[in-house]
Amino acid sequence: MSSCMEHPDIGLSPSPLLFTPYSLRGLELRNRLMLAPMNQHAAIDGFADDGLLVHLGKYALGGFGVVATGATAVTPSGKIGPGDLGIWSDEHIPGFKRLTTYIRSHGAAAALQICHSGRKGSIQRPWQGFGPIDESDLVRNEQPWPLWSPTGEALGPGHVAPQALDEAGIQRIIEDFAAAAVRADRAGFDILEIHGGHGYLIASFLSPVINTRSDHYGGDLSGRMRFALEVVKSVRAHWPERKPLFFRASCVDGHPAGWKLEDTVVLATQLKEHGVDLIDCSSGGLRISTSIENTQRKPGYQVAYADEVRRRTGIPTSAVGLILDGRQAERVLQEGAADLVAIGRQALYDPYFAHHAAQDLGVDAGFDAWDISAGWWLAKRRPGLAALGLPGSGESRISNI
């Protein structure tokens, strides 16, 4: 596995891979940086509004190659929390269309992550407790809703107990995913990502800890993978052939008896055969919002998963997890650990992560990749800053590494 995070400041190439174009199917990305899907918990009835346009639009302005939404529910009962985005209705399409038009107009590809919460739904917003919806939420007219899962086991004490899906229910949800793919295309998204990790519905079918079914959607690995593969097959059939399809996986689910990296390799091989173009490699989240993996974080702590899956299956991967600057991201690519690098919370801290990484790596010293309304101002002040030896002049730090 890759050791690319041990010495992130040593031996970088003068020709950064991070800012070379990358092609998947009929789509060419301007660079290898992807905004990781992150829920904002701010939507009303699932609709994309001005707040989402401003939030995600700034990452297109900030230079990312791919800008992705957070988990977007394919059905109202598939929401994680009351503020989730949704794409269960044609009425959601115009708001998303406005978003994708803006993102694409600034050179980025727009990605939609579609999700069904499974038993990890009917949960409060993080800043309101991140627990089961309770009396305090009822004051805001936020009611709990029925949940669906492989079995009737609740997420934890006080959480809504899900109903175990029968085969008719499974087929209904597969159809919900397919319908979401059709709407995503109509809304102008370039990439679709199926959320198959973090303990949500697909991941709960995959994990032997949660999926204790005895029918052909449970039991051995083949049975537990059946639902995921049927979702992918249906989505791929309804998603244009020219557009890439991603799958987010928890490469390990954070339970000692649970889903393992070896299982992910087997799944990834079959996902590739079913038309998935890239595995977005994450981890954890089986039972609660964190896991053993996610509480023992260090820079690049999930990169090894992307490396292993890519090396053993040949499918492209995206690496994510405490990737904090451009040099660290560049090393991931140079060591062959992944094809794309996803930036999450560090992008919240610095929406211009991509532009700053480019300058740190000696790319675009003249601010040509910036939106022209900002770039010309920054280029104009560059000589003065450089003369004073001040940061912000676009000078590369590569020569100092």
Collect all residues with Cβ–Cβ distance below 8 Å to 380 and sequence separation of at least 6.
none
Say what the pLDDT of residue 395 is: 63
The answer on pLDDT for 393 being more than 80 is no
pLDDT given at position 254 = 85
Mean residue pLDDT across the chain: 92
Neighbours of 365 (CB within 10 A): 15
- Using CB atoms within 10 Å of the CB of residue 27, give its burial: 0 to 12 exposed, 13 to 18 middle, 19+ buried: middle
Question: How large is the average pLDDT for residues 26-32?
Answer: 97
As a whole number of angstroms, the distance between CA 266 and CA 309 comes to 9
Kindly tell me if the per-residue pLDDT of 58 is higher than 60. Answer: yes
Confidence of residue 297 (pLDDT cuts 50, 70, 90): confident
Summarised one tens digit per residue, pLDDT across range 204-227 is 999 999 999 999 999 999 999 999
The residue written with tokens 């990890």 in the block is: 120
Q: What confidence tier does 294 reach under pLDDT thresholds 50, 70, 90?
A: low
Q: What is the pLDDT of residue 287?
A: 73
Enter the tokens of residue 139.
Answer: 């004051």
What is the domain range of residue 245? 22-363
Confidence of residue 14 (pLDDT cuts 50, 70, 90): low
Is residue 228 included in any domain, yes or no? yes
pLDDT band with cut points at 50, 70 and 90 for residue 1: very low
Residue range 29-57: mean pLDDT, rounded: 97
Res 12: pLDDT: 59
Q: What is the SS3 assignment for 264?
A: helix
How many angstroms separate the CA atoms of 37 and 34, rounded? Answer: 9
Q: Is 86 exposed, middle or buried (0-12, 13-18, 19+ CB in 10 A)?
A: buried
The mean per-residue pLDDT over the stretch 176-196 comes to 98
In a domain, 6, yes or no: no
Q: Pull the structure tokens for residue 78.
A: 């598939």
| Structure-model confidence comparison of residues 134 and 39, the more confident one | 39
How far apart are the C-alpha atoms of 395 and 31, rounded to whole Å?
20
Alpha helix locations (H) across 62-166? Answer: 93-105, 135-138
Q: Which of 337, 280, 333 is nearest to 308 (CA)?
A: 337
What pLDDT is stored for residue 33 in this prediction?
Answer: 98
For residue range 118-136, list pLDDT tens digits in order. 999 999 999 998 899 888 8
How far apart, in whole angstroms, are the C-alpha atoms of residue 91 and residue 88? 9
Q: What 3 state SS string does 243-260 have?
A: CCEEEEEECCCCCCCCCC
Q: What is the pLDDT of residues 337-387, one digit of tens each?
A: 999 999 999 999 999 999 999 999 999 989 999 999 999 999 999 899 889
Q: Which of 6-15, 212-221, 290-299 has the lowest mean pLDDT?
A: 6-15
SS3 of 29-60: ECCCEEECCCCCCCCECCECCHHHHHHHHHHH
**In angstroms, how far is the first alpha carbon of the chain from the final one?**
24
Residue 11 pLDDT: 56
The count of domains in the chain is 1
Beta carbons of 33 and 66 less than 8 angstroms apart: yes
Is pLDDT of 292 > 60? Answer: no
Given a contact cutoff of 8 angstroms between Cβ atoms, the answer to whether 339 and 24 are in contact is no
Per cent of the chain over pLDDT 90 is 84
What average pLDDT does this structure show over 27-43?
97
Percent of the chain topping pLDDT 70:
92
Residues 6+ apart with CB under 8 A from 63: 31, 33, 352, 353, 354, 355, 358, 369, 370
Its sign, for the CA torsion 186, 193, 233, 288, is negative
User: Is a pLDDT exceeding 90 seen at residue 398?
Assistant: no
Residue 10 is predicted with a pLDDT of: 44
Rg over alpha carbons for the chain, rounded to the nearest Å, is: 21
Question: Active site residue: 59, 200, 217, 305, which one?
Answer: 200
- Quick one: which of 124, 137, 28, 122 has its CA closest to 78? 122
pLDDT of residue 375: 94
Give kind and range of the element (H or E) at residue 24.
strand 22-24
Return the pLDDT at 399: 39
- How many helices and strands, by DSSP H and E, does the chain display? 13, 13
In a domain? residue 177: yes
Instruction: Work out the average pLDDT over 187-194.
Output: 98
User: What are the beta bridge partners of residue 35?
Assistant: 67, 343
DSSP 150-185: SSS--SSTTSPPPEEP-HHHHHHHHHHHHHHHHHHH
Q: Cα(273)–Cα(235) distance, rounded to whole angstroms?
A: 14
pLDDT tens figures, 69-120 = 999 999 999 999 999 999 999 999 999 999 999 999 999 999 999 999 999 9
For the chain, the residue count is 401
Res 5: pLDDT? 47
Is pLDDT above 70 for 335?
A: yes
For residue 334, the domain's CATH number is: 3.20.20.70
Q: What is the pLDDT of residue 137?
A: 82
pLDDT at 222: 98
Is 292 domain-assigned? yes
* CA angle, residues 205, 209, 145, in degrees to nearest 5: 55
**pLDDT at residue 173, rounded to an integer:** 98
Residues 180/174, Cβ–Cβ less than 8 Å: no
Q: Catalytic residue at 22?
A: no
pLDDT band with cut points at 50, 70 and 90 for residue 142 = confident
* pLDDT tens-digit map of 232-269: 999 999 999 999 999 999 999 989 999 999 999 999 99
Q: Is 284 exposed, middle or buried (0-12, 13-18, 19+ CB in 10 A)?
A: buried
pTM for the whole structure: 0.94
Domain assignment of residue 229, yes or no: yes
